[in-house]
């Protein structure tokens, strides 16, 4: 209990502790320390400071234990003894005259020597062995004794020897209270031992858990900081190069292209971190909307064709000529999973290698289909050790090839979490230097597609009727407002800027009918935010209030943010950073 280290010789009971799941007790002698009663509790699957523990032992000084269990009773005329299953007296009081009658090593042998009735001795022997209560009255050496045995714990019993001649009848009636007191006291000692053991183990595990959390947090911050600073440093450095080479168009164009790629990578890192955070907090929701499987696959192929072409990879889609196209599910998250896997395959496959996306569908009962997506490559593969933890955040295989590629290490963890949220499964097959194969299976409900115009592909030229249309842009950040305004002006639009929601509402209210064709509304702005401004515009008396398209233009990119925008009277939600192709498609759709 004091934390002092002692050495115990291994006994039969300590040996049993390794294979038993019960609390055990034993009596032992420690050199230079004295005699102790040992309480032993087994442990399973407990590791503290990289050491595996199979049990915890608490020592109780024999004198302390004896004061409780072996007690002189009734003015030292009677006694309580701790007796084991064989009849051996483990503990006895030192100052009771009962020892003159029961002073032998083995109580059963002593009773036989005293010529006690053999049937009574056998009854007591059976009670000690089977741990049940025994009571009888016997006469020895001219004195009548009441012998009572009560099971204590771990094979021991408390045996009371009370001389009848000095006890009254009422004393016998109160005997049970004495027994209860002794048993409760002993039970308290055992309970304290168990509580102490539990506290010790829990405290050790809690410390270990807190240390692991601190290490994980530190590791998280270091990796995220590195991954964010890497592309950010490139963006800033490339901008410095452009400023110093303003008169060299080729250098400026090359730097601008590289800065754009670095910026896109920075956004992907931030999105991964945000997605992982929302997944772990349980706030990420999976949508259940109609989508076209053919369109989904074609979009994924379009997104990854250029990066695969840069490495001269043979990248292809393998799917049946005819398959069901309409499904209910989250097309955005399915694309995210496939793009993540394909990007990894492209990244870690040497030039001239193969990357294949295979799609198959397995119809199930009712309206459900099990969609099977397989991403296979001829890349560097993965080790068995890495495959055991590849779906953990920040895990990346270490090799000479992977060292040349940066990444958040969150991709596979996000894919695994998203697939799980969609009630699907994902597994991988891989061998070092022999490629990898990832298989995703998702249960999807079949549905029919409605006739609609395709929205994929680039929109290189805007319809002539859009040229000269006036746009109201509400954006509180001056630089962002200037960038978006210049992009739109380059497309042939006329842009009026507003620094906050209140200014945007006033500009709209004071405009003539048909003056503005569309409103781009930032969400987080001072004075009045975008949601309040959109609601104010819809509630105004202006003739265009019910019909003018209001498009959210915001850094808030989560599903609930989109829902809030639509609930406040907006037609669509465009996430920052601005994608000019999405702007074009949105204007074509909503400006008539």
Domain residue spans in the chain? 72-171, 289-446, 464-590
Cβ atoms < 10 Å from Cβ of 14: 17
Q: Rounded to an integer, what distance in angstroms lies between the CA atom of residue 484 and that of residue 497?
A: 10
C-alpha span between 570 and 65 (Å, rounded): 79
Q: Which residues contact 312 (CB under 8 A, 6 or more apart)?
A: 351, 352
Angle between helices 559-567 and 530-538 (to 10 degrees): 30
If we measure between CA atoms, which residue out of 313, 394, 312, 300 comes closest to residue 342?
300
Which pTM does this prediction carry? 0.48
DSSP bridge partners of 446: 327
Using DSSP, state whether 258 is helix, strand or coil: helix
DSSP output for 263-318 = HHHHHHHHHHHHHHHHHHHT------EEEEHHHHHHHHHHHHHHHHHHTT-EEEEE
According to DSSP, residue 395 is labeled -
DSSP string spanning 119-174? HHHHHHHHHHHHT--EEEEEEETTEEEEEEEEE-STT-EEEEEEEGGG--HHHHHT
Tens of pLDDT along the chain (592 residues)?
A: 455 556 665 665 566 666 666 656 665 666 556 566 666 667 666 666 667 766 777 666 655 555 555 666 666 778 888 888 888 887 777 777 788 888 788 888 888 888 888 999 899 999 888 888 888 888 887 788 888 887 776 677 888 887 876 554 444 444 445 555 555 555 565 566 666 666 666 666 666 656 655 555 555 555 555 556 656 666 777 777 788 888 888 888 888 877 777 676 667 667 666 666 666 666 677 888 899 999 999 988 887 888 888 889 999 999 998 899 999 998 888 988 998 899 889 988 998 899 999 999 988 878 889 999 999 999 988 887 777 777 765 555 544 344 444 455 567 888 888 899 899 999 999 888 888 999 999 999 999 887 654 444 455 578 889 989 999 999 998 888 888 899 899 889 999 999 999 999 999 999 999 999 999 999 889 999 999 999 999 999 999 999 999 999 877 666 677 888 888 889 988 887 778 888 888 999 998 7
CATH number for the domain formed by residue range(s) 72-171: 3.30.450.20
Q: What is the CATH number of domain 464-590?
A: 3.40.50.2300
Q: Please state, in angstroms and rounded to a whole number, the distance separating the CA atoms of residues 334 and 327.
A: 12
Structure tokens at 228: 């964010």
Q: Are strands 518-521 and 470-474 parallel, antiparallel or unpaired?
A: parallel
Segments in 512-557 forming alpha helices (H): 530-538
Q: How far apart are CA 318 and CA 360, in angstroms?
A: 9
Q: In the numeric block, which tokens belong to residue 159?
A: 């045996």
Instruction: Give the Cα separation of 36 and 31 in Å (integer).
Output: 11
**Class of the domain covering 289-446:** alpha beta
């Amino acid at each position: 209990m004091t934390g002092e280290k002692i050495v115990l010789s291994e006994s039969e009971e300590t040996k049993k502790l390794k294979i038993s799941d019960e609390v055990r007790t034993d009596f032992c002698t420690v050199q230079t320390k004295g005699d102790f009663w040992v309480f032993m509790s087994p442990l399973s699957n407990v590791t503290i400071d990289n050491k595996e523990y199979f049990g915890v032992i608490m020592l109780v000084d024999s004198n302390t234990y004896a004061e409780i269990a072996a007690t002189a009773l009734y003015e030292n005329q009677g006694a309580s003894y701790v007796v084991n299953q064989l009849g051996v007296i483990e503990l006895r009081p030192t100052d009771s005259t009962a020892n003159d009658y029961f002073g032998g090593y083995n109580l059963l042998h002593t009773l036989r020597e005293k010529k006690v009735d053999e049937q009574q001795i056998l009854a007591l022997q059976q009670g000690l062995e089977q741990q049940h209560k025994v009571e009888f009255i016997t006469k020895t050496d001219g004195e009548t004794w009441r012998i009572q045995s009560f099971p204590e714990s771990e094979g021991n019993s408390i045996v009371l020897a009370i001389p009848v001649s000095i006890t009254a009848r009422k004393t016998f009636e109160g005997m049970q209270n004495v027994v209860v007191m002794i048993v409760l006291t002993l039970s308290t000692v055992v309970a304290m031992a168990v509580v102490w053991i539990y506290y010790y183990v829990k405290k050790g595990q809690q410390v270990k858990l807190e240390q692991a959390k601190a290490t994980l947090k530190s590791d998280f911050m270091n990796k995220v900081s590195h991954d964010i600073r890497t592309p950010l440093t490139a963006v800033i450095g490339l901008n410095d190069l452009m400023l110093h080479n303003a008169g060299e168009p080729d250098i400026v164009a090359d730097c601008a292209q590289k800065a754009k790629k670095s910026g896109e990578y920075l956004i992907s890192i931030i999105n991964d971190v945000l997605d992982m955070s929302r997944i772990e907090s349980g706030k990420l929701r999976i949508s259940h909307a109609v989508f076209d499987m053919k369109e989904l696959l074609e979009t994924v192929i379009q997104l990854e064709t250029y990066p695969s072409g840069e490495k001269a990879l043979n990248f292809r889609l393998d799917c049946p000529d005819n398959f069901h196209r309409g499904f209910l599910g989250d097309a955005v998250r399915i694309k995210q999973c496939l793009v993540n896997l394909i990007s990894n395959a492209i990244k870690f496959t040497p030039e001239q290698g193969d990357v294949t996306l295979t799609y198959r569908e397995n119809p199930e009962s009712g309206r459900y289909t099990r969609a099977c997506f397989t991403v296979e490559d001829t890349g560097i593969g993965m080790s068995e050790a890495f495959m055991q933890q590849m779906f953990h955040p920040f895990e990346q295989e270490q090799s000479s090839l992977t060292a040349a590629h940066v990444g958040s290490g969150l991709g596979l963890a996000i894919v695994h979490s998203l697939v799980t949220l969609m009630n699907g499964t994902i597994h991988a097959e891989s061998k070092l230097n022999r490629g990898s194969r990832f298989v995703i299976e998702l249960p999807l409900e079949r549905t029919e597609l409605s006739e609609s115009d395709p929205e994929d592909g680039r929109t290189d030229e805007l319809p002539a009727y859009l040229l000269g249309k006036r746009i109201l842009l509400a954006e509180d950040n001056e630089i962002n407002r200037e960038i978006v305004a210049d992009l739109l002006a380059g497309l042939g639009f006329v842009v009026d800027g507003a620094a906050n929601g209140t200014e945007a509402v006033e500009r709209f209210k004071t405009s003539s009918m048909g003056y503005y064709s569309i409103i781009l509304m930032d969400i987080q702005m001072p004075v009045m935010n975008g949601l309040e401004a959109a609601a104010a515009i819809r509630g105004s008396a202006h003739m265009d209030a019910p019909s003018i398209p209001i498009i959210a233009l915001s850094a808030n990119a989560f599903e609930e943010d989109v829902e809030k925008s639509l609930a406040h009277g907006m037609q669509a939600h465009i996430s920052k950073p601005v994608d000019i192709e999405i702007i074009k498609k949105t204007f074509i759709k909503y400006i008539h």
